[in-house]
Amino acid sequence: MKVANTHQIVLAGTSLGVRNTFHSIVAILTTLVVVTTVCLRQDGGHLPPKINASGSNSSSSSSSSKCDLFYGKWVFDNESYPLYKEKECTFMSDQLACAKFGRKDLSYQNWRWQPHHCDLTRFNATALLERLRNKRLVFVGDSLIRGQWVSMVCLVDSVLPKTLKSMHSTANGSLNIFKAKEYNASIEHYWSPLLVESNSDDPVNHRVPERTVRVKAIEKHARYWTDADFLVFNTYLWWRRPVMNVLWGSFGDPDGVYKGVEMLRVYEMALRTWSDWLEVHVNRNKTQLFFVSMSPTHERAEEWGAAKGNNCYSETEMIAEEGYWGKGSDPKMMHMVENVLDDLKARGLNVQMLNITQLSEYRKEGHPSIYRKQWDALTQEQIANPNSYADCIHWCLPGVPDVWNELLYAYIFHQ
């Protein structure tokens, strides 16, 4: 009998012989329990290796019983990918519909993420909807996690009849709800780019010259998502500045105290407020929690060896260098998140990190660039220099966020 490549248990025919049948059976059963426990254990970014129909491990020569889903490579696969067609997704966002807005090279849609020592289970929309029956899956955060939400909606959209799905907004437009009526399931996005309360909380008018956060205030947002069955958070992009304005008090309160504080310290305070709220208010017997790591940007082409002053505009190939890490991704912020999640785990609440940063770092060609709806009219200077308005932050769909959701899907079914 073989359980994975790394755990072989011989039931008979050993050179040592078996003198006591009863003790041998006990030893075998004990070993099986231990091996099963190891294979099912989740820790950090690991899942059990995928077992194929024959019972053998799809991993090659790993010495571990766990597979790091986030450590792998991109494989071109134009037979299986994309998982849906851009123009057939009912609720596609014009911010992410790159083909609609003129992009001709569509190979960014045909890449599959392949972990080194196992396979990702193929996304099954019907299975996910069944898992979500009578439940809420809520994405909370900024426009990047909104893109992941749009991706998830597109992934399930095609299996639902037109009359059995709907989309509506509430909470002054902050909460967008996709409903699969037959399953009484909802897939939602709540706009909260800094998680805690801020002066950027309006889902439309959130561009402000100076960003201010109330690091101790989260209830305004959290009351809309605390009772969800699956919660997926992110917050990174909106923190990218050396100093943040912190408000002690309420917006509009003449007695409020404002102070500029080093960003990383404010980031920690906000994460602590968020984690404290989760610990007190989330039903740990009901809700699965996830945190999506920072989504990389590709705004400086010299970082991957191209001409200085360029960015993702006109890029059609991914970065080949294994382990490439751009300067736009801040390890200190990532470690801060890890520390907060570790503290929560020590208090009995598990939040699974979806570590999408490294795998997304390679995908410089996956951004909308100039191929998206432009909310403001372009100037003649911008038209003459496409680099100046290229979007190298968000991601085309179908594309990279679909893989983020494949990873989320794996954890929803294995956790």
Question: What pLDDT score was predicted for residue 414?
Answer: 86
Question: Residue 52 pLDDT > 60, yes or no?
Answer: no
Question: Residue 413 pLDDT > 50, yes or no?
Answer: yes
Question: Residue 1 pLDDT > 90, yes or no?
Answer: no
Average pLDDT of the segment spanning 309-318: 97
Which letter does DSSP use for residue 316 in this model? -
Instruction: Quote the CA–CA distance of 137 and 80 in Å, as a whole number.
Output: 26
CB 371 within 8 A of CB 396: yes
SS3 content of the chain, % helix, strand, coil (to 5): 30, 20, 50
Question: What pLDDT score was predicted for residue 189?
Answer: 98
Question: What pLDDT score was predicted for residue 37?
Answer: 41
Question: What pLDDT score was predicted for residue 66?
Answer: 76
Q: Is residue 249 part of a domain?
A: yes
Q: Is residue 39 part of a domain?
A: no
Question: What pLDDT score was predicted for residue 188?
Answer: 98
Just list the catalytic residues. Answer: 143, 391, 394
Question: What pLDDT score was predicted for residue 286?
Answer: 95
Model pTM above 0.75? yes
Q: Is residue 38 part of a domain?
A: no
Instruction: Quote the CA–CA distance of 10 and 119 in Å, as a whole number.
Output: 27
Instruction: Quote the CA–CA distance of 67 and 125 in Å, as a whole number.
Output: 24
Q: Is residue 69 part of a domain?
A: no
Which letter does DSSP use for residue 209 in this model? S
As beta bridge partners, residue 292 has 354
Q: pLDDT-based confidence at 46, cuts 50/70/90?
A: very low
Q: Is residue 21 part of a domain?
A: no
- Compare 172 and 61 and report the one with higher pLDDT: 172
Question: Residue 5 pLDDT > 50, yes or no?
Answer: no
CB 217 within 8 A of CB 207: no
Q: Is residue 192 part of a domain?
A: yes
Look up tokens 């960015």; give the residue: 311
Question: What pLDDT score was predicted for residue 172?
Answer: 93
Provide the percentage of residues in the chain whose pLDDT is more than 70: 84
As beta bridge partners, residue 167 has 178
Instruction: Quote the CA–CA distance of 318 and 364 in Å, as a whole number.
Output: 6
Q: pLDDT-based confidence at 415, cuts 50/70/90?
A: low
Which pLDDT tens digit goes with each residue over 269-290?
999 999 999 999 999 999 999 9
- Compare 168 and 30 and report the one with higher pLDDT: 168
Range of the domain at 286: 77-414
Which pLDDT tens digit goes with each residue over 103-124?
999 999 999 999 999 999 899 9
- Compare 331 and 52 and report the one with higher pLDDT: 331
The domain tally of the chain equals: 1
Average pLDDT of the segment spanning 368-385: 94
Residue 103 half-sphere exposure, CB side, CA atoms within 13 Å? Answer: 31
The average confidence (pLDDT) of the chain is 87
Q: Which of 93, 84, 82, 70 is nearest to 148 (CA)?
A: 93
Q: Is residue 60 part of a domain?
A: no
Question: Residue 345 pLDDT > 80, yes or no?
Answer: yes
Question: Any long-range contacts for 70-73 (C-beta under 8 Å, 24+ apart)?
Answer: 70/45, 70/115, 70/355, 70/356, 70/358, 70/359, 70/407, 71/45, 71/115, 71/116, 71/358, 72/113, 72/114, 72/115, 72/116, 72/359, 73/113, 73/114, 73/116, 73/322
> Which backbone phi and psi does 228 adopt, to 5 degrees?
-70, 160
Question: Residue 42 pLDDT > 80, yes or no?
Answer: no
CB 273 within 8 A of CB 196: yes
Q: Is residue 220 part of a domain?
A: yes
Which pLDDT tens digit goes with each residue over 127-146?
999 999 999 999 999 999 99
